[in-house]
Amino acid sequence: MVFTSTVFLFLFLPAFMAVYAVLPPRARTTWILIASYAFYAWWRPDFALLFAAATVVAYAVGESVARLKSSRRGTARVILTLGVTLQLSTLAYFKYAEFGVASLDALLRSLGAGPLPAVSIILPIGISFYVFQSISYMVDVWREDAPMSARFVDVAAYIALFPQLIAGPIVRYKHLALQLARPAMDGPMLAEGAQRFMLGFCKKVLIADALAPIADGAFALSSPTMVEAWIGTLAFAAQLFFDFSGYSDMAIGLGLLLGFRFKENFARPYLSASITEFWQRWHMSLSRWLRDYLYIPLGGNRLSPSRTYVNLLLVMVIGGLWHGASWVFVAWGAWHGALLAIERLQRDRGLRRTEEVSGLAARALTFTLVLVGWVLFRSTDLAHAGAVYAGMLGLNGITLSTELAWQLSTRSLVTLVIAYLLIFFPTPVPQPTTESTDTRPRPPAWQGRAERALTFALVPLFALGLMRAIADSFSPFLYFRF
């Protein structure tokens, strides 16, 4: 079940909210848990059992660690290690076993050895997100950064919370613990949540889905020309942003309807003046998770400069693998890790930071470097990425071929222009900041008036999006596959 489906919009969500509204606050958490499992099981009921097992492990480990840490610290540490290992092993099996066997088979074939038996494993949807949330709960209880829940239902509902279950944002238990104990509905939050949900829906259906044919057509070419490679990459960059930030907006909006405030996940990332800033603005919940549970435990920047560079590279390679079991994701992570290490080296040597050289030039350079990385992210394999890079350099020709030209509709091209106007120029669309409070500074007067106008415009835009979603074929969110 997805947020843009008619089943969710006209059956699941109205039924859920009707029951949620009449229940006493204390009982709402249980209803969230029941509904979230129904939401997840709609896809594959059998994988809901795996989901439940991961939740039981997280709760049991958290309870044991909290109880034993003061008196038997060593035992508590062993239990935590076993719990984290079990969660990561589950993720590794379902997400990387097939990739590992295929890579080993390719190596053996190159050495003249016999082929390995093929392995085919179905990837449980959302496993990357709920495993990371389970780990964060266990580790935060160990660090005493989050309270150990006295009720299993609270932890289970936190991990299963359907607004952000499938594709994030990744939330921390400490931010929801008090709200989960007694979820409260609030009139202003309901209005804000509805507006935020409609905004995300429009971003997904009216923009991201309209850009998909351009990106898909360009990346389907075996040897794209310069125009085709660049227009395809630009279309994919905008599609990915509006698709994933749209999902995040819808998740945040649904959270508000339930009385929860999730942290923001995007803050105009394509306006970043460095790759470091980009990762402070793009998929912020993942960036924070990698920082707190991987980069800092590896030593962060507390050790030697060379170790810091290695840590940055390693964390981003792992972040790339988290997105998908493929060498293109490894290369994408290595690309960003190398750029982060270079920026860190510049700062360590007292060189001017990129954004201090020239605001516009730094932003243009950063956006270009991000686009180069998105080619890897979108390509099927390294050879395919190489063909796109050759096209970007003009090695496959310059002009638009008839093979792609007939697929470029006026609507999709106009949407591409509108998408980048929304990305690069001041708009009435509410934009979060990267501050820890996730609040915005007071907007100028014109923007305040424009935001109020947008509130009224969202209703007809949402209605148009509904008609498009019903009429068009199913278009899943891009991050569902991660």
Sequence spans of domains, the chain:
6-184, 189-274+353-474
DSSP string, 302-368: SS-HHHHHHHHHHHHHHHHHHH-SSHHHHHHHHHHHHHHHHHHHHHHTTPPPHHHH-HHHHHHHHHH
Torsion of CA 161, 164, 165, 170, to 10 degrees: -100
Which pLDDT score is estimated for 47?
Answer: 86
Q: Which residues of the chain have pLDDT under 70?
A: 114, 351-358, 426-455, 472-482
Neighbours of 369 (CB within 10 A): 18
Whole-prediction pTM: 0.87
Peptide bond into 441 cis (omega under 30): no
Which pLDDT score is estimated for 125?
Answer: 85
Written as one letter, the residue type at 89 is S
Task: Establish whether 175 is a catalytic residue.
Answer: no
Helix (H, G, I), strand (E, B) or coil at 67: helix
| Cα angle: 12, vertex 183, 262; to 5 degrees | 80
Instruction: Tell me which of 175, 283, 323, 384 is the catalytic residue.
Output: 323
- Beta bridge pairs of residue 397: 395
pLDDT in tens, 47-61: 889 999 999 999 999
Signed CA dihedral, 267, 377, 315, 251: sign only: positive
Give the separation between CA 175 and CA 264, rounded to whole angstroms.
Answer: 13
| Cα angle: 280, vertex 285, 288; to 5 degrees | 65
Which pLDDT score is estimated for 243?
Answer: 92
